[in-house]
Homo-oligomer: A and B are copies of this chain.
Amino acid sequence: MVSDALTPERILEATEDVLRRYGPAKATVVDVARVLGVSHGSVYRHFRTKAALREAVTQRWLNRTSEKLASIAEDSGSAEERLGRWLTGLFEAKRHKAGDDPELFATYSVLTGDTNTVVDRHIDDLTGQLARIIEDGRTQGVFSSDSLGSPAETAAAVFSATARFHDPAYAAEWSKPGAEQDFAAVRALIVRGLRA
């Protein structure tokens, strides 16, 4: 027994350990139970299915990124500067996750492919933050209010246009030389497109 009570949080911790060690294909519920020193039946008391467990651990992982960015979205100050910082922050966060522990990143990339609802919520969260920055920018008069739809629609467009720099499908390209310049070029193009 590693500790006292068997909580969802402890199970998620153990699940991430097991995923890191064995990868998404080999990690089993029995492995998670073994790490915790309990039977696998006990894990099923807290998560109805293996899929539910994977969703929960994936959500936890995605939330670590969105929480970091939330503070930028909620800042006061120049919307244009915050937008640049937010987009750069998103790219940097993903790039570091991918570069620092490639195997765990690959593992979560597989998981996000299965857990569509969780990923959709994450994307809604991020585009919501973007929409807030865009709305602030329109209020401040630095971003155009004509011709580009609602803040939410514009946020979705900005998110789409930067997909190459946050979608795990492109992770292999983030460490190539020139990736940073490519990102800066797209960011400049987008910011220019938003200006009043």
Contacts and interface: CB of A to CB of B under 8 A. Distances in A.
Most chain B CB inside 10 Å of its own CB: which residue of A154, A161, A185: A161
Most chain B CB inside 10 Å of its own CB: which residue of A149, A186, A188: A186
Most chain B CB inside 10 Å of its own CB: which residue of A144, A167, A191: A167
A161 B190 contact: yes
Interface in A131-184: 144, 147-149, 153-154, 156-158, 160-164, 167, 169-170, 182
A193 interface: yes
A194 B191 CA distance: 11
Interface residues of A, number: 27
B193 A189 contact: yes
Main secondary structure of the interface of A (DSSP, over half): helix
Given A154-B185, A163-B163, A148 B192 contact: yes
A147 B192 contact: yes
A156 B144 CA distance: 25
Given A161-B161, A164-B163, A149 B185 contact: yes
A10 to B, nearest CB: 36
A158 B193 CA distance: 12
Contact of A148 (B147, B154, B157, B189): B189
Given A147-B192, A192-B147, A192-B148, A186 B161 contact: yes
A194 B189 contact: yes
A157 B192 CA distance: 13
14 contacts: A147-B188, A148-B189, A156-B185, A160-B164, A160-B182, A160-B186, A161-B190, A163-B164, A163-B170, A167-B169, A169-B169, A188-B193, A189-B194, A191-B193
Interface of A: 144, 147-149, 153-154, 156-158, 160-164, 167, 169-170, 182, 185-186, 188-194
